[in-house]
Structure formats: C-alpha cells, structure tokens
C-alpha cells in the first residue's frame, strides 16, 4: 500500500498542482461525451416525472442546439385542467420546456476532478471511488432536473401542498450553489469511504502481536483488537 505523505503543506501543494490539469481534462471529456451521458439519463427523468406526477405525460425528450449550446428538452402533455383568463378550463395542453445540458455536467466534473487529483490514493482506489460516486450522481440529478421541469409547468398554479413547497425550496437551493455544494459533499463522502475500506483491509491483515495502528505503541491484541 502506498504510504501517504505526512507533510500537510506538501499534500496541499500536490493536490493543487494535480487538480487544475485533471479538472481541465474532465471538463473537456464531458463537453465531448456529455450528450451521451445526458441521453442515458433522459428516460430515467421521464419515468420519474410520470411516476411522481401522473397528471403529466412525457411525449418526447432529447437534446437540441439553441443559441449555440445544447439544451435538454421535454415535451409534456398536461392532463390536469388549466383555466384561461376567461375562466374556461382547457385539457391536454402540451408544453415544451428546456434546460441547458451543461447543468448536468456540473456535479460529475467536480466529483471526478477531486477524486482523480486527491493525494494519497492509488489508481485502483480512484477508479473504485468513481464507481461508488455514480449512484450519488444519479440521485442528485433525480432530485434536480425532473422537479425543475415540473416547477416550470406549475408556476401558474397556486402552491397548495407541502410537497410543492419542498420542490420550490429544492429548486432555489440548486439554483444558488446547491449543485456545487452537493458535488463537493459527494466527493468527500466517497473519499472517506475509500479510507475506511483501506483501514479495514489493513486491520484485517494485522497479526495479534503487531503494533496497534492507533499509535498507542501497544500490541494489537492488547489494544484495539479487544
């Protein structure tokens, strides 16, 4: 196992030197292969919208270029009645909504940049951390993008339930740095899990007569083994 540097300043310097090129490389990768990543998630988002909100039916979805940038779009049929200015309800109105596709790139770019530049991790541990972070990425996107489209539809409806209030709070959170905060949190949690797994493996390989890894200077069998 690779021995970690005990000098905090050298670790910070090494991290800073590694982070910039890794960040640029990951960003470039996502802006090239990002549309494939987005198309993989589109059916999941459509399923979530229809499952949580049966009054909406997703007709189609995809990626289109608007104003020289890629946008995710959904065409949604609204089954609930919409009352116009004359007070006449209309049914089955269809709307087309979009969001900049790069919104979905924010979390993976931050997370993978941190994981692949964090000091003291082996290549195998970095790859393992990247795999561990994928479910977190999907979870974050699932509470971000589908509620965004639902919120766009329901802007004209009065807020009547607690779930609608929570959805509005979530959208305000994501729009004001929440995506970056959650990405940083996921990266730190993933790195913490890797260190826990590393420690567990090291302890399982200890002989009872070895020095205890806690640093007490006592034998493992007379210290933490108990």
pTM of the complete model? 0.79
Asked whether residue 1 carries a pLDDT value surpassing 50, the answer given is no
Domain of residue 211 covers 8-222
Q: Does the structure show a pLDDT above 90 at 145? A: yes
pLDDT, tens digit, 9 for 90 and up, residues 52-66 = 889 899 999 999 998
**Tell me, what's the pLDDT at 3?**
45
pLDDT for the residue numbered 199? 77
Structural domain contains residue 194: yes
Residue 129 within any structural domain of the chain: yes
Q: How does pLDDT run across 148-207, given as a tens digit for each residue?
A: 998 888 876 666 677 778 878 888 899 899 999 999 999 999 999 998 888 777 666 667
Q: Does 90 map to a domain?
A: yes
The mean per-residue pLDDT over the stretch 69-90 comes to 80
**Is residue 59 included in any domain, yes or no?**
yes
Tell me whether residue 2 is in a domain. no
- For the residues 133-139, what does the mean pLDDT come to? 94
Give percent above pLDDT 70 in the chain: 81
Q: Evaluate whether residue 3 is within a structural domain.
A: no
189-208 burial by CB neighbour count: b if 16+ within 10 A, else e?
A: ebbeebeeebeeeeeeebee
Instruction: Please report whether residue 218 resides in a domain.
Output: yes
Q: What percent of the chain has pLDDT over 90?
A: 48
CB crowding 41-56: b at 16 or more within 10 Å, else e: bbeebbebbeeebeeb
* pLDDT tens per residue, range 13-44: 778 888 999 999 999 998 888 899 999 999 99
pLDDT of residue 2: 44
Would 16 be classed as within a structural domain?
yes
pLDDT above 50: residue 5 = no
More confident: 220 or 20: 20
Choice between 226 and 76, residue whose per-residue pLDDT is larger: 76
Check if the beta carbon of residue 72 is closer than 8 Å to that of residue 38.
Answer: yes
Number of structural domains (the chain) is: 1
């Amino acid at each position: 196992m690779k021995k970690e540097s005990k000098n905090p300043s050298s670790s910070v310097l090494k991290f800073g030197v590694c982070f910039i090129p890794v960040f640029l490389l990951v960003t470039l990768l996502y802006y090239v292969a990002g549309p494939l990543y987005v198309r993989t998630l589109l059916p999941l988002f459509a399923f979530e919208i229809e499952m949580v909100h049966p009054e909406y039916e997703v007709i189609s979805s995809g990626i289109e270029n608007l104003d020289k940038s890629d946008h995710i779009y959904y065409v949604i049929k609204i089954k609930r009645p919409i009352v116009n200015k004359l007070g006449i309800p209309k049914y089955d109105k269809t709307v087309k909504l979009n969001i900049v596709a790069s919104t979905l790139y924010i979390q993976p770019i931050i997370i993978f940049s941190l994981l692949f530049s964090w000091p003291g991790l082996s290549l195998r541990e970095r790859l393992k951390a990247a795999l561990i972070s994928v479910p977190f990425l999907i979870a974050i996107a699932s509470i971000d993008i589908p509620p965004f489209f639902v919120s766009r539809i329901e802007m004209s409806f009065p807020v009547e339930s607690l779930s609608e209030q929570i959805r509005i709070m979530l959208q305000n959170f994501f729009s004001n740095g929440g995506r970056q905060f959650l990405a940083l949190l996921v990266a730190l949690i993933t790195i913490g899990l890797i260190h826990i797994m590393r420690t567990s493996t090291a302890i399982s390989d200890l002989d009872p007569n070895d020095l205890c890894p806690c640093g007490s200077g006592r034998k493992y069998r007379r210290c933490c083994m108990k």
